[in-house]
Amino acid sequence: MKQMRKHLLLLLVFVLLVGNGLMGSLEAFASTHARQSPVLTHTEGGPSSKEELNHEDLVELQILGLTDFHGYLKALNDKNNGQINSPDGPITVGGAAYMATHLRNLKAGKENSILFSAGDDFSGWPFEVAAHREEPTIEFLNAIGLDFSVAGNHEFDVSSDFLKNHIMNGKCFGVINEDSCFNDSTGQRFQGADYEYISANVREADSGNLVLKPYVIKQIPDGKGNTIPVGFIGLTTPTTVEGSTSFQVGALTNDPLLESANKYAKVLKEMGIKTIIAVVHEGGSTKSDAIDFNGCDRPFGPIFDFAKQASAEIDAIIGGHWHAKFNCSIDDPEGNPRPVIEGANHGRLISEINLSIDPVSKDVVREMSRSLNHPVTRDVPADPVISKMVAYWDDKGKERWAKPIARQTDDLTRARNDKGESTLANVAADAHLAAGKKAANPADFALTAASPLRGDLLYNKGKNPADSDGQILFGEQWHAHGYANPVLVVTFKGQQIKEILEEQWRLKPDGSVSFHPLAVSQNVHYTYNVDKELNHRINPDYFLINGEPLDLERTYRVAALAYIVIGADGYETFKEYRDPVRVGGDYWVFLDYLKNQKVIEPPALHRVTSTTLITMNEIQNVLNHYVNSGDVEKPLDKGLSSRLKMAEHHFNQNSEDKAIKELEKFITYVDKRSMQRFISQEAHDVLEVKARALMEKWL
């Protein structure tokens, strides 16, 4: 509809111009039209009516944007990163070294060019970048002369401190060249970004102050010895604060996009700035997205809602975050067209907008704005300096991958037993608890879903020459656990924890029930009963935290990843969390845990018991396990074993009452000996939970 109206308008102007005998170059045509156009009345003191302007008087400004780069320095060949579709078919794209060449070519001959990123420069998945704390990306963005970057949601994945102190100011943490401040490809220690990060709508929760500057102002020469100020407002998706990776509830707050954009457009206008660009880390898409990166067929999504409503003082809008591809012109609230463009992700596209600015009004002559997405093709020479940089970080990544960090005595895998437990999930829960213990209001225990488990850690040596049997390399553990999520510590009431545990079983539309087991940390042992109705399968008396049954009225601190906490793993009650505190990123928390343990023994799968599946044999095996590991002192096991045998004997004789009495005696004995410290806390909890499960089964 909008497109059609625009075409009609242009046709009308064309007819008028032909009628006036004013046909000239396209620029002169548009410039004349702009001067005469009543739609330009919003620009106070707009193109002077007294002074005739030639198109040579207009000041040309090129703005170049990239977005959602996510640290994709290497030219990859997979479909998602190495290809983009055009109406003429797929094009091979991507790679920082090619991007650098394209940027240089695009800038060639342009007197005024400003290069920026619309956010999500980092927190990507390329190992060599993520394992070096995003520093390789900063080296690249410095090298291509980025003028500024908007902070996307992922710029807050660690903390505002990390962004401001480490990324922007080069402040080191931990061991230099090991935890942060690595040597870059020139041999220099990381110094931080040469450019600024901006956001007009992310605030510190405490003070209410903006975390970053809301805008940047660039001065461009007008060719007559004066300058024209150009204001860029940075905006961050309002989903940042409650996003899974950027989760900052309690630390940061997010203002709405529109309100923030309009506020700062007004501020800039009052400063006399008329050329205003909104760089927005928020996106949308079109029906043509998948086939035409310059298409604009039926646009939808928050960036277009924004574009229709945002202050008419804003002359162009650059989006991001959705990894989408479009090149649109959307009318502002006063009916004037303005470019709205998004350039995909991972360095596959560069968005270009050329603006013509009237040096008298210092505002953009809208009708002359031209925008285009350029594919970062590989048919140009790779920039040699950037190529060297990319190769350097790739090598350094390989070195880091091969670094031994701990040993293991057996496989740690995602393979579940019949109760839903796995060795890797149990280690992950223990790692989350260890991190959660460091919070000021520390975690009582941890709950972990299957989602962060990405690969098995096998005892047998892998393909890497640095590997040997039982050796855990940095890269191996990195690929086993984590997806750039923070570990949080949150508060729940006991009743809510029971509900979360019940949500492990979910009714499917076809009436069947699916099982989504949660891993618990080593200080939790519990039993469930799948013979009972949904929502009645957890008995709080059989959910022991450090040997104490779950108290439905008490509050507990639980360590868990943000992804599960915001409800993304489907445990709905998790969303009722309170008092969240971040205690570290999942990759780093897991790494720290393994390093501190030095030698990892796969945890016994004794934390969860199923009433339906429990057998006397299982209890006997557990007892044997703890006797062997010294958790149950000899010869206590003799007395315990004989009670188990007696219970079984009575049960087989159909004397259930007597059998249960024996199990009660067994539990009392375990309790007493545990208090005397002849039985460890863990062995006590496991034996008690399992004996109770068997009693319930027999009842």
Site string for Zn ion, 389-428 (x = CB under 5 A): ----------------------------------------
Judged by CB, which is closer to Zn ion: 120, or 688?
120
Q: Does 70 contact Zn ion by CB under 5 A? A: no
Nearest approach, Cβ of 370 to Zn ion (angstroms)? 27
Closest separation in Å from C-beta 153 to Zn ion: 4
Q: How many residues bind Zn ion (CB under 5 A)?
A: 4
Taking the complex as a whole, the smallest distance from the CB of residue 162 to Zn ion amounts, in Å, to 17
Shortest distance (Å) from residue 560 CB to Zn ion: 23
Give the nearest distance from C-beta 281 to Zn ion in angstroms. Answer: 6
Torsion sign (Cα): 528, 533, 535, 540: negative
Q: Closest residue to Zn ion, Cβ-based?
A: 321
One-letter amino acid identity for 375? P
Q: Is 323 in the site for Zn ion (CB under 5 A)?
A: no
Q: Is the peptide bond before 635 cis (omega within 30 degrees of 0)?
A: yes
**What span, in angstroms and rounded, lies between the C-alpha atoms of 540 and 526?**
9
Whole-Å CA distances, 384 to 96, 340, 375, 419: 11, 33, 20, 56
Stretch that binds Zn ion, among 147-155, 224-232, 572-580, 685-693 (CB under 5 A): 147-155
The least CB distance from residue 578 to Zn ion, in Å, is 27
- Shortest Cβ distance from residue 540 to Zn ion (Å)? 40
CB of 240 to Zn ion, least distance (A): 8
> Which residues partner with 66 through β-bridges?
117
Residues 109-128 contacting Zn ion, CB under 5 A: 120
Nearest to 650 by CA among 636, 660, 637, 639: 660
Q: Which stretch binds Zn ion (CB under 5 A): 313-321, 428-436, 509-517, 553-561?
A: 313-321
Least distance between Zn ion and beta carbon 401 (Å): 27
Is position 153 an interface residue for Zn ion (rule: CB under 5 A)? Answer: yes
Q: Does 152 bind Zn ion (CB under 5 A)?
A: yes
Nearer Cβ to Zn ion, position 120 or 430? 120
- Residue 68 C-beta: closest distance to Zn ion, Å: 6
For residue 246, the minimal CB distance to Zn ion (Å) is: 8
Do 382 and 103 contact (CB within 8 A), yes or no? no
Cα separation, 661 vs 326, in Å, equals 73
SS (H, E, C) 548-585: EECCCCCEEEEEEEHHHHCCCCCCHHHHHCEEEEEEEE
User: Quick one: 152 or 343, whose CB is closer to Zn ion?
Assistant: 152
**Contact status, residue 350 vs residue 105, Cβ threshold 8 Å:** no
- What contacts 176, CB < 8 A, 6 or more positions away? 189
Q: Which stretch binds Zn ion (CB under 5 A): 88-96, 145-153, 370-378, 687-695?
A: 145-153
Nearer to Zn ion, 152 or 397 (CB): 152
For residue 411, the 8-state DSSP code is -
| Span from 2-10, 124-132, 321-329, 330-338 in contact with Zn ion (CB under 5 A) | 321-329
Give Cα separations from 119 to 125, 155, 370 (angstroms): 16, 7, 22
* CB closer to Zn ion out of 185 and 285: 285
Distance CA 487, CA 157 (A): 11
Cβ atoms of residues 353 and 370 within 8 Å: yes
| Contact mark string toward Zn ion, 201..240, x via CB under 5 A | ----------------------------------------
Residue 330, H or E segment: strand 325-331
Residue 295 engages Zn ion in binding (rule: CB under 5 A): no
Residue 236 Cβ vs Zn ion, minimum distance, rounded to whole Å: 9
Scanning 69-77, 150-158, 491-499, 556-564 for contacts with Zn ion by CB under 5 A, the matching segment is 150-158
Residue with tokens 């557990």: 622
**697: Cβ–Cβ under 8 A, 6 or more apart, which residues?**
611, 612, 614
H-assigned helices in 479-615: 494-502, 562-565, 586-597
Quote the CA–CA distance of 289 and 57 in Å, as a whole number.
37
Angle at 52 between CA 51 and CA 58, to 5 degrees: 105
**Interface residues for Zn ion in 623-642 (CB under 5 A)?**
none
What radius of gyration, in Å, describes the C-alpha atoms of the chain?
Answer: 31
Give 101 or 236: the residue with its C-beta nearer to Zn ion: 236
- What is the Cα–Cα distance from 437 to 559, expressed in whole angstroms? 8
Least distance to Zn ion, CB of residue 141, Å: 16
Give the residue with the Cβ less far from Zn ion, 124 or 299.
124
321 binds Zn ion per the rule CB under 5 A: yes
11-40 positions binding Zn ion, by CB under 5 A: none
Compute φ and ψ for 692, nearest 5 degrees: -65, -40
Q: Compute the least distance from the CB of residue 565 to Zn ion, in Å.
A: 19
Q: Which amino acid is at 676?
A: Q
Complex with Zn ion: residue 120 or 121, whichever CB lies closer: 120
Pick the stretch among 148-156, 198-206, 259-267, 476-484 that binds Zn ion (CB under 5 A): 148-156
Nearer to Zn ion, 120 or 128 (CB): 120
342 is a site residue for Zn ion (CB under 5 A): no
Sole residue written with tokens 């695009």: 106
Q: Are strands 555-561 and 486-493 parallel, antiparallel or unpaired?
A: antiparallel
CB proximity list for 110: less than 8 A, separation 6 or greater: 60, 62
Residues 456 to 495: which contact Zn ion by CB under 5 A? Answer: none
User: Rounded CA gap, 107 and 62, in Å?
Assistant: 8
- Pull the structure tokens for residue 486: 């923070």
Q: How many helices (H) and strands (E) does the chain have?
A: 19, 30
Nearer to Zn ion, 70 or 607 (CB): 70
- CB-wise, 342 or 444, nearer to Zn ion? 342
The footprint of Zn ion (CB under 5 A) covers 120, 152-153, 321
